[in-house]
Amino acid sequence: MIGDFYYLHCAAESLASAGFQYDWPDVDADNIDNVIDEFLDAWREAHPVRQWRPYEWHKIAR
């Protein structure tokens, strides 16, 4: 699972620097933020920890 976060990070970095990526299927510059948010939400749902609530920084408007 940690590897998935790494691949999403690499995809985001590649999109920011080169405008394309090969790390995550069906991700482009228009949807990378939503894909990361959805993946993180799914992970948090599968790994419930009350202490995560104060750290919902990924929901901050970009």
pLDDT in tens, 1-58: 678 999 999 999 999 999 999 999 999 999 999 999 999 999 888 887 766 666 666 5
Checking if the pLDDT of 61 tops 70, the result is no
The pLDDT, as a whole number, for residue 11 is: 96
Question: Is the whole model's pTM more than 0.85, yes or no?
Answer: no
Q: Contact, 9 vs 20, CB < 8 A?
A: no
The pLDDT, as a whole number, for residue 48 is: 76
Q: Contact, 15 vs 28, CB < 8 A?
A: yes
